């Protein structure tokens, strides 16, 4: 066992010589004089490494990991210098002299290498140090400021209520400790499954190595080999679970403010959307709907009959989502507080007394969501909201924020570290469970939602989160500002959250704090229309931020892009379906699809929405042109149908009403008719915008968008296939799963970039067609026969 003194005179110890090792099934244990480390082989590309400086493991059930497989097909070989663990894809060697782990791929390429030693520790923390090369890029880590590539900075994982997201501000609201490393050739991931404070130093201290460190005596991390970035994410989501399909209305436009009240204002807001022909599905109620900020109550003066109001709004196509904060007001006459005390459901001080902090209702207790009994009780309390017709829940302040702690350091403005949490018989201090608090609040809400409304899909959005949150909730990125800088910063932030396994992400369109200018609001609305979670939100002391409050020109722009969002609903919903199957993000950086292209490895101001649509927002004032990078392949300008070859930068016009949008050659984009809200119309005519390449395939998923019956097979999948040759093209429509009647009557097939009027068109069913010589679009209309259909076109 070795140790040395650091500059701060802190005693640091390292693993030292491995004295003995044992194998038990898929697990290997390595003992040194004062420490033990464990390696579990989970699959051919994933191993779990746990280290303890106390020679004993916590073995507390993970909040994040819900599926830990067991790999049996691997070999173990002991040599003089190391023990080698080999699967089909990777080899991990454990150095006998110091416990250092080196992981190689099947070709012998080193993909992860501890340097100096294995693990080191002080009395407070455990650290792992790994070699870093100049070609390495780092992605993931959830909600962080800065560019797409996180290299060169040190990041703190500690959920914090931090409203000023300046470029180097850290930490923020969410902790998702998944680090993806990509060196231009292959990718790997490290998921540190610890809910205590963590640090990732990605080259700030030294450009030859990176470290991750936990404020605990134990380190527990999963190593995932790609070699592609997509496989790293999918493997991580196999461990932590994938997003379930949300209700389709949650993909529509959502309007929020702190706060809309009383009831008359909410109704007037709803009427304005319909009168002004601006689609909207959701209106939010912030804390002022409550009785003096007591959760699970209504202010009877402002909302005398909430059930009636909610019913009237539903009839107009509006859903209402209410905010719920974790702080429960200390009040002997408040039944929620009294029940929590009697049932022993609140976080406690070391002395056994309930800890009381201060939030919106004043002095308040904080439920101990680490207990199953608390989560069940909390979920049941939502009957007061969901039972009256509330459609979704907005979880806020759940870092948790605590106003009673005054400090310039926002990381301290939370429940004190020495408060005790039970965690179903695994009690530890709040410091050890801090980052899971909001996660478990969402977990309780989600489980309660399923019991109260068993036939509906839960919808929730949360500010605070931990790894695995995608199983329970969507996320938004907290209290941003009406700054151009925050508009720009939202792109890499959203993309990295998506790369961290959370597809359903967005930010406050227009900015929450301060006042948006008309130009800023218009540009933010354009971007927001292509974020998975699409909500405008503003603070209580700002000017009105509804789409019509910035003048006629901006109102028209908002209407245009919100309507486009609804027209793209079939495409959007299909991307959500794919995300629910793979865990891959919907709003994705170009490096995910074009990893071989060095120009996209840190491209932050463009993104792909799904696989086919590329968005290049304008994020600076007084700008009417935009430089856009086009990766390999052909790209259609969505507005003009001009085709560009990839692997080049182009300059495009982008006046205030124009968001540069490009469609990848070989794409099929399903579109619906305009509607004021999701479900207003039966989509009896499905339009397919077809952008030909030599071969194009597309699979479309459809279900009722509301119930859970899709889990029992009530859905439809239709495959579309396009083949192009010098004489013409053929297009096949093939239903492959018919478990749901989509009530579709017709298809409209719009083939773009058709330079000749057809000489002959044949179809297995009745059809009509029109060729627009100026737009070069061939439009074919035919009925949906619910069976295979073949269309051939000869020029």
Active site residues: 396, 399, 479
Residue 412 is given by DSSP the state: G
> Each residue of 165-181: b (16+ CB within 10 Å) or e?
beeebbbbbbbbbbbbb
List Cβ neighbours of 683 (8 Å cut-off, separation of 6 or more). 570, 672, 673, 742, 743, 744
The helix or strand, by DSSP H or E, that contains position 39, with its residue range, turns out to be strand 36-43
**Could you tell me the end-to-end alpha-carbon distance of the chain, in angstroms, rounded to an integer?**
79
* Cβ proximity of 750 and 777 under 8 Å: yes
Report the C-alpha gap between 14 and 35 in whole angstroms.
9
Cis amide leading into 227 (omega within 30): yes
* Cβ proximity of 377 and 291 under 8 Å: no
789: its two tokens = 């259909």
As beta bridge partners, residue 392 has: 321
* Cβ proximity of 219 and 37 under 8 Å: no
Cα angle, residue 787 at apex, residues 784 and 790 outer, rounded to 5°:
80
**Phi/psi of residue 703, nearest 5 degrees:** -150, -165
**Phi/psi of residue 386, nearest 5 degrees:** -65, -35
What distance lies between CA 544 and its chain's CA centroid?
A: 28
* Placement of tokens 């493991």 in the chain: 57
Strands 535-536 and 254-255: parallel
Cα angle, residue 599 at apex, residues 594 and 602 outer, rounded to 5°:
90
Burial of 264 (0-12, 13-18, 19+ CB in 10 A): exposed
Comparing CA positions, the residue from 683, 715, 718, 724 lying closest to residue 698 is 718
CA atoms within 13 A on the CB side of 351: 3
List Cβ neighbours of 107 (8 Å cut-off, separation of 6 or more). none
Report the C-alpha gap between 727 and 749 in whole angstroms.
19
* Cβ proximity of 616 and 622 under 8 Å: no
Comparing CA positions, the residue from 581, 482, 496, 494 lying closest to residue 531 is 494
Written as one string, the DSSP assignment of 140-185 is: E-SS--S-SS-TT-EEEE---------TT----SEE--EEEEE-SS
Comparing CA positions, the residue from 474, 456, 455 lying closest to residue 465 is 474
516: its two tokens = 């948006």
Residue 55 is given by DSSP the state: S
Strands 648-653 and 661-664: unpaired
The helix or strand, by DSSP H or E, that contains position 498, with its residue range, turns out to be helix 484-499
* Cβ proximity of 248 and 317 under 8 Å: no
């Amino acid at each position: 066992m070795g140790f040395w003194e650091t500059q701060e005179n802190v005693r640091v110890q390292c693993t030292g010589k491995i004295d003995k090792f044992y194998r038990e099934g898929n697990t290997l244990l390595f003992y040194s004089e004062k420490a033990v480390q464990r390696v579990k082989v989970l699959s051919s590309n994933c191993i779990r490494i746990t280290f303890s400086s106390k020679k004993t493991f916590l073995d507390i059930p993970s909040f994040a990991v819900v599926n830990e497989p067991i790999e049996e097909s691997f070999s173990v070989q002991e040599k003089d210098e190391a023990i080698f663990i080999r699967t089909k894809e990777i080899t991990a060697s454990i150095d006998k002299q110091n416990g250092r782990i080196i992981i190689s791929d099947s070709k012998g390429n080193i993909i992860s290498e501890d340097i100096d030693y294995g693990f080191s520790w002080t009395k407070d923390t455990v650290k792992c140090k790994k070699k870093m090369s100049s070609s390495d890029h780092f992605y993931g880590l959830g909600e962080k400021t800065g560019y797409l590539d996180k290299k060169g900075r040190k990041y703190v994982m500690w959920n914090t209520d931090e409203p000023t997201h300046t470029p180097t501000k850290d930490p923020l609201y969410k902790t998702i400790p998944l680090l993806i490393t990509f060196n231009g050739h292959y990718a790997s991931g490290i998921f540190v499954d610890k809910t205590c404070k963590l640090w990732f130093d990605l080259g700030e201290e030294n450009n030859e190595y990176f470290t991750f460190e936990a404020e605990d005596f134990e380190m527990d991390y999963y190593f995932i080999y790609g070699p592609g970035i997509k496989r790293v994410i999918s493997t991580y989501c196999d461990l932590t679970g994938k997003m379930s399909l949300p209700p389709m209305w949650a993909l529509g436009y959502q309007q929020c403010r702190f706060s809309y009240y009383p009831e008359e204002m909410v109704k007037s807001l709803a009427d304005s959307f319909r009168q002004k022909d601006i689609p909207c599905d959701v209106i939010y109620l912030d804390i002022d709907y409550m009785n003096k900020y007591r959760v699970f109550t209504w202010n009877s003066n402002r909302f005398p009959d909430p059930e009636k109001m909610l019913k009237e709004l539903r009839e107009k196509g509006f859903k209402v989502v209410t905010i719920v904060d974790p702080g429960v007001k200390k009040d002997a006459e408040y039944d929620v507080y009294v029940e929590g005390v009697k049932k022993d459901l609140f976080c406690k001080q070391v002395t056994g007394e309930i800890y009381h902090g201060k939030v919106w209702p004043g002095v308040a207790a904080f439920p101990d969501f680490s207990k199953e009994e608390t989560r069940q009780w909390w979920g049941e309390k939502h009957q007061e909201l969901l039972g009256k017709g509330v459609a979704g829940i907005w979880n806020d302040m759940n870092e948790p924020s605590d106003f009673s702690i005054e400090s310039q350091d926002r990381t301290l403005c939370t429940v004190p570290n020495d408060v005790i949490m039970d965690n179903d018989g695994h009690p530890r201090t709040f410091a050890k469970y801090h980052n899971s608090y909001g996660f478990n609040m969402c977990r309780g809400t989600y489980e309660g939602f399923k019991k109260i409304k068993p036939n509906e899909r839960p919808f929730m959005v949360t500010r605070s989160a931990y790894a695995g949150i995608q199983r329970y909730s969507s996320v938004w990125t907290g209290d941003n500002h009406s700054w151009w800088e925050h508009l720009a910063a939202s792109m890499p932030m959203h993309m990295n959250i998506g790369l961290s396994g959370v597809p359903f992400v967005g930010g406050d369109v227009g900015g929450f704090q301060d006042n948006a200018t008309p130009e800023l609001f218009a540009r933010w609305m354009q971007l927001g229309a292509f974020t998975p979670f699409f909500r405008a939100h503003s603070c209580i002391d700002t000017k009105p931020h509804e789409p019509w409050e910035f003048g006629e020109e901006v109102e028209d722009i908002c209407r245009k892009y919100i309507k486009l969002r609804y027209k793209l609903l079939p495409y959007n919903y299909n991307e959500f379906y794919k995300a629910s199957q793979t865990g891959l993000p919907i709003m994705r950086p170009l490096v995910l699809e074009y990893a071989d292209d060095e120009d996209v490895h840190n491209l932050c101001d463009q993104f792909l929405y799904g696989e086919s649509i590329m968005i290049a927002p304008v994020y600076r004032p007084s700008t009417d042109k935009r430089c856009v990078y086009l990766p390999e392949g052909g790209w259609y300008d969505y507005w003009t149908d001009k085709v560009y070859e990839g692997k080049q930068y182009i300059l495009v016009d982008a006046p205030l009403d124009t968001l540069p949008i490009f469609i990848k050659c070989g794409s099929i984009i399903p579109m619906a008719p305009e509607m004021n809200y999701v479900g207003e119309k039966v989509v009896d005519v499905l339009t397919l915008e077809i952008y030909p390449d030599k071969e194009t395939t597309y699979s479309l998923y459809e279900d009722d968008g509301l119930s859970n019956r899709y889990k029992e097979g009530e859905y439809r999948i239709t495959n579309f296939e396009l083949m192009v040759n010098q004489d013409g093209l053929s297009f096949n429509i093939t239903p492959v799963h018919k478990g749901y009647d989509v009530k579709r009557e017709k298809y409209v097939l719009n083939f773009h970039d058709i330079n000749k009027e057809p000489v002959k068109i044949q179809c297995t069913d009745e059809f009509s067609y029109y060729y627009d010589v100026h737009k070069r679009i061939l439009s074919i209309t035919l009925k949906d026969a619910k069976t295979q259909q073949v269309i051939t076109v000869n020029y």
